[in-house]
Structure 1
Amino acid sequence: MPHTLMKRALVPALSLAVVAGLTACSDAEDAGHDMDAMTSPTSAQSSEPPAEDSASFNDADVTFAQMMIPHHEQAIAMSDVLLAKDGIDPEVVDLARQIKAAQGPEIDTLTRWLDAWGVEPTSGGHGSMDGMMSEEDVQALEEAQEAEAQRLFLKQMIVHHEGAVEMARAEVADGRDPQAVAMAQSVVDTQSDEIRAMEGLLAGG
């Protein structure tokens, strides 16, 4: 009888020991999982920042390049129209040549940047950009001669430059790429000077 009582007393004790052992194992595993979560390279605290946060350029840079290319192209085309005419003031001729000399290389640079950024230049739909001449404006310049052609060129190019300056100021304020921002500041400075020169030529004519 004492032997039977001892067995009955041991069974609950053994059960408690097994339960305690299982609980300890479970706690250890949970702790291990917690440590893994804290040290895992995929945890939120050690995750890499989004790629765009570390990019050398942003949307403002892309927009500036995509819009300035056709804008410059039209300025060069307008200058070519004027340079093909006779009877134009030499100062206006020099200005048209200056515009071509500055904006041609900038188009090449802007195109290279877009290629390096993996972005395609946009095509078409540029009529809504600030300062862009309509087809009617361009035709009027093509048909005008001598003094009238000169007057139209100066008036149109002032508006055209003002649009470019506004786009460039937006890039200076919002751009990330240092070279693009530097070009934009150069556009602001150069074309602002040219606007003043053209206004003086108009007033003197």
Structure 2
Amino acid sequence: MFSAKRSAVRFVPVLAAGALLIAGCSDVGDSASPTSAETSVSAGQSAIPAGVNATDIEFLEGMYPHHSQALDMAKMVEGRTDNAELVALAAKIEGAQGPEMAQMTETLTKWGRPDPSSMSMDGMDHSGHGVGMAEMPGMMSDGDMTALTNATGAEFDKMWLTMMIEHHAGAIAMSETEIADGLDPSAEKMAEEIIAGQQAEITQMTAMLAGE
């Protein structure tokens, strides 16, 4: 009986050593093989053209739907207000942001990215570079847009100006991030133009609100 116990005691360390050896081999294998997340990141990075970084892509892919909502708001003006200055401002916003959206589309497709006009808001999150609607500052909710749609006259004017100021402030924040962290000169130039144009419009809209 005593002899059997001693044999059992001697066998336990051998099993433990074997288990450690197997675990060690498993760890080595895991470290040598990239995870699916690492593979995805690597694949996404390799798809970025030279001279462009993820910030540039996020900026254009996020700004496209941001501009699109601003155009939707601008188009609501017709038939809801007789404020000539607001009507003219809405036309100015359409005239500036429409061509910028076309430029974003051209640049993104040149970089091998999908046409942003064919993508949903959620689709902007693919490949680790896009941003979702909730992450874009200044975007209005569905409820906000519905309330604006249902407003008319002075109520519409005040709501539209207040919402567009917030919307413009969000675009400026996104543009400042691009200037700080982006790499592509054309994207940075667009960001600078957005800041200059929309800051001037914020000043105008603030004065319009104060004069009501």
TM-score (normalised: structure 1): 0.72
- Flag structure 2 segments of 5+ consecutive residues without an equivalent: 1-44, 123-132
| 1:161 counterpart SS class | helix
Q: Which residue number corresponds to residue 97 of structure 2?
A: 103
Paired residues of 1:127 and 1:134 also in contact (CA < 8 A): no
Name the counterpart of 1:123: 120
Residue 181 of structure 2 is aligned to residue 174 of structure 1? yes
Structure 2 Cα separation of the partners of residues 128 and 181 of structure 1: 20
Alignment-derived partner of residue 68 in structure 1: 63
Q: What is the percentage of aligned positions where both structures have the same residue? A: 40
User: After TM superposition, which residue ranges in structure 1, 4 or more long, deviate above 4 angstroms?
Assistant: 50-54
Code of the aligned partner of 2:78: L
Partner letter of residue 189 of structure 2? A
- Name the count of aligned residue pairs: 155
**In 1, Cα distance between equivalents of 2:135 and 2:180:** 21
- Give the one of 185, 189, 193 matched to 1:186: 193
In structure 2, the CA distance between the partners of 1:73 and 1:51, relative to structure 1 (3 Å rule), is closer
**Could you say which residue in structure 1 is the equivalent of 2:160?**
153
What letter matches 1:153 in structure 2? W
C-alpha displacement at 1:53, in angstroms? 9.6
Q: Does 1:82 align with 2:77?
A: yes
- Alpha-carbon distance, 1:88 to partner: 2.6
Provide the residue aligned with 1:10 in structure 2: none
Contact 1:88 1:150 survives alignment (8 Å): no
Cα distance change, pair 106–162 in 1 and its aligned pair in 2 (3 A): same
* Greater Cα radius of gyration, structure 1 or 2: 1
Distance in structure 2 (CA, Å) of the matches to 1:187 and 1:164? 7
In the superposition, relative to structure 1, how do residues 56 and 91 fare at CA in structure 2: closer, same or farther (>3 Å)? same
Match in the other structure for 1:91: 85
> Counterpart amino acid of 1:137?
D
Q: Which runs of 5+ in 1 are unaligned?
A: 1-49
Q: Distance in 2 between matches of 1:99 and 1:173?
A: 25
| Deviation by residue 1:124-158 (Cα, 9 ceiling, x = unmatched) | 24133100000110011110011111111000000
Q: What SS does structure 2 have at the residue aligned with 1:127?
A: helix
Matches of 2:189 and 2:153 in 1, distance apart?
A: 37
Which structure 2 residues correspond to residues 4-15 of structure 1 after superposition, within 5 A? none
- Cα root mean square deviation, aligned: 1.8
8 Å CA contact 1:88–1:147 kept in 2: the answer is no
User: Could you say which residue in structure 2 is the equivalent of 1:39?
Assistant: none
Cα displacement (A) at 1:54: 7.8
Find 1:112's aligned residue among 97, 100, 106: 106
1:83, CA displacement in angstroms? 2.3
Q: Which amino acid aligns with 2:184?
A: D
> Which deviates further from its counterpart, 175-184 or 125-134?
125-134
